[in-house]
């Protein structure tokens, strides 16, 4: 019998500010990292006020991680120390492996309506690969396959596989799966997941329930507001579901359709030492990274 993953914990995204003044919602970050290994952070940068995103993320360093940017609406201009210049358009994905070190900038521009929406996920690199050469992968929306099931369920496969359909991003150390799933109303979605992997779902449109569990008091909830006692059997926008171990994820809807990210990866089980966008295994490695940045020797590879 297939082991259905149960809800381990439910998080509500928390408003925060990053970069030069970008307003976004953080689904999880530094304090939740041990629970999400090998993932470090997930930000939802959806916003319809250009004043809240146009200042963007000017030049800053990364080391020891991968950043995955998925844009739903608007454009994000990118430049980096390897000489890459690109624009991430609506529906596109940028998978950037910082490795030994990269300096880049990301400047959101929004669309004609002033809308900017999308997500940035940080994935940790294993100790053995933290000082690998950085690499950049720009994936256009036309390259991302979509699986349409008989029930009307639609799945964009960014990374990993759905049946025999594989996403365009491959050869990643943590064996990730990154899916954009749309489930119509009154429908159930089932998806196999590797046992032992960390699996979570982030909901951004509509409502649904998971693991056939409609009793919100049966699992732990973490909210940014201590006095937020509102409990709903259907989970909705801005909610993240972290699953316990198992072989399959089960998601159901009622009248309202649901759209969410389904993400999984193989845990590293390694120590994490973190300062801003630099993530290493020891404090000494972190200190070396900061000293190199100050001396101008941080970037080891220029792509030339």
Beta bridge partners of 76: 88, 108
Closest alpha carbon to 106 in 152, 70, 141:
70
Contact 61, 293 (CB under 8 A): yes
Give CA separation, 38 vs 129, 130, 208, 230, 298, in Å: 13, 13, 26, 31, 24
pLDDT band at 222 (very low <50, low <70, confident <90, very high): low
Give the pLDDT band of residue 234 (cuts 50, 70, 90). confident
Q: Token pair of 192, please?
A: 């196999």
Phi first, then psi: give them for residue 300, nearest 5 degrees: -95, -25
Reported as a pLDDT band with limits 50, 70 and 90, residue 226 is very low
User: Which stretch of 5-14, 150-159, 187-196, 259-268 has the lowest confidence by average pLDDT?
Assistant: 5-14
3-state helix, strand, coil in the chain (%, to 5): 10, 45, 40
The torsion angles phi and psi of 33, rounded to 5 degrees, stand at: -55, -45
Q: Where are the domains positioned within the chain?
A: 7-295
CATH of domain 7-295: 2.60.120.10
Does residue 289 register a pLDDT over 90?
yes
Contact residues for 166 (Cβ-Cβ < 8 A; gap 6+): 145, 157, 160
Cα–Cα distance between 184 and 130 in angstroms, integer? 41
Judging by DSSP bridges, how do beta strands 198-206 and 258-265 pair with one another? Answer: antiparallel
pTM over 0.85? The answer is yes
Give SS3 for 5: coil
Q: What is the mean pLDDT of residues 185-212?
A: 95
With a cut of 70, say whether residue 33 has pLDDT above it.
yes
* Other CB atoms within 10 A of residue 231 CB: 9
Q: Integer distance in angstroms from the first to the last C-alpha of the chain?
A: 53
């Amino acid at each position: 019998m297939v082991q259905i993953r149960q809800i381990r914990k439910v998080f509500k995204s928390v408003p925060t500010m990053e970069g030069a003044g970008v307003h976004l919602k953080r689904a999880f970050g530094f304090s939740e990292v041990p629970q999400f290994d090998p993932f470090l952070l997930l930000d939802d940068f959806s916003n319809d006020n250009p004043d809240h995103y146009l200042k963007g993320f000017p030049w800053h360093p990364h080391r020891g991680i991968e950043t995955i940017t998925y844009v739903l609406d608007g454009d994000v201009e990118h430049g980096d120390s390897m000489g890459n210049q690109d624009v991430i358009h609506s529906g596109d994905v940028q998978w950037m492996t910082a490795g030994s070190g990269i300096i880049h900038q990301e400047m959101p521009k929004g669309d004609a309506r002033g809308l900017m929406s999308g997500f940035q996920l940080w994935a940790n690199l294993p100790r053995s690969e933290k000082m690998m050469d950085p690499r950049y992968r720009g994936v256009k929306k036309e390259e991302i396959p979509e699986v349409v099931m008989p029930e009307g369920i639609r799945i964009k496969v960014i990374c990993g596989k759905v049946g025999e359909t594989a996403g365009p991003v491959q050869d990643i150390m943590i064996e990730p799966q990154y899916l954009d799933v749309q489930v119509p109303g009154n429908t159930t979605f089932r998806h196999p997941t590797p046992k032992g992997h960390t699996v979570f779902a982030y909901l951004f449109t509509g409502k649904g329930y998971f693991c056939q569990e409609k009793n919100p008091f049966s699992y732990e909830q973490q909210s940014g507001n201590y006095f937020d006692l509102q409990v709903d059997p259907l989970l909705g926008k801005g909610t993240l579901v972290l699953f316990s171990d198992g072989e399959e994820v089960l998601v159901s809807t009622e009248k309202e359709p649901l759209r969410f990210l389904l993400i999984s990866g193989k845990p590293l089980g390694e120590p994490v030492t973190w300062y801003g966008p630099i993530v290493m295994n020891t404090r000494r490695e972190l200190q070396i990274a900061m000293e190199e940045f100050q001396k101008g020797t941080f970037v080891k590879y220029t792509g030339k």
